[in-house]
A = this chain, B = another copy of it.
């Protein structure tokens, strides 16, 4: 397969909705050779025309999110005239919603811009997640919306930070057999607690990598499969005691684990 698929992301705003759709579709073709052409904040027909001409010449696949009605119409005409295939990933849905609700759309590009209150809340959540990362301070448990526990290298930190960027206050606690978990864990609302687990071999590989990065011998006790299994047993026992849901993060993306957590906790969707 030698053909390159050129794909265009064209938006009068950031364009990440269109990008997400294009990448979801392209993910079905892991072997495909593709080239991304991304153009954000396009807001006049001249700029649009240049990009579309190039796309047509390269037989590109065009994904657009253009909220401005005039610009969208311009693209539509161009495509009819040239046979370019172009998916508008906002207009058709906006028109259908408009028909149903009988209200006019704002047509403001990137109407997703956050109100300052939402922005403040996200900042606060991210700062919370950093402050209470890695068991730094168990006293935040009551304020936390989600408490993630797990042994080293089960992905507590990345998951917490990702949830933080979505606006959730997450505190995470590392589990170590030699240390008693903080007493606050047994006093807080159990519904907020999520246990992470992972395949022992994956954890072991992650630990070996970490040891090498630290310039240490990868054959330490920390990175031995026997030790990992011992720690996982300790964690399982605690999860049973706390009666908390457990997520196995093996082969899951950060987004996927995050979605599962929000589903389990029946949390509203915030920013996405």
Contact = CB atoms under 8 A, between A and B. Distances in A.
Q: How large is the interface on A (under 10, 10 to 19, 20 to 34, 35 or more residues)?
A: 35 or more
Contacts of A47: none
Interface string A73-114: 000000000000101011011101110111101111011111
A26 B29 CA distance: 30
A221 interface: no
A96 B101 contact: no
B32 A251 contact: no
A129 to B, nearest CB: 8
Contact of A123 (B94, B106, B155, B251): B155
Contacts of A65: 24
A220 interface: no
B106 A30 contact: yes
A256 interface: yes
A19 B94 contact: no
Contact of A255 (B14, B102, B202, B251): B14
B120 A61 contact: no
B24 A126 contact: no
Nearest to A162: B165
A253 B133 contact: no
Nearest to A133: B130
Given A17-B21, A254-B165, A32 B97 contact: yes
Interface in A107-135: 107-108, 110-114, 116, 119-120, 122-123, 126-127, 129-130, 133
B21 A272 contact: no
A263 B40 contact: yes
B130 A24 contact: no
- Residue from the set A3, A119, A252 with the largest chain B CB neighbour count within 10 Å: A119
Interface of A: 1, 3, 5, 13-17, 19-32, 36, 38, 40, 59, 61, 63, 65, 67, 85, 87, 89-90, 92-94, 96-98, 100-103, 105-108, 110-114, 116, 119-120, 122-123, 126-127, 129-130, 133, 155, 157-158, 161-162, 164-165, 202, 206, 209, 251-256, 259, 263, 269, 272
Closest 4 CB pairs of A and B: A25-B93, A28-B105, A27-B111, A17-B24
9 contacts: A5-B101, A16-B272, A27-B111, A28-B67, A28-B106, A120-B209, A130-B161, A161-B164, A165-B165
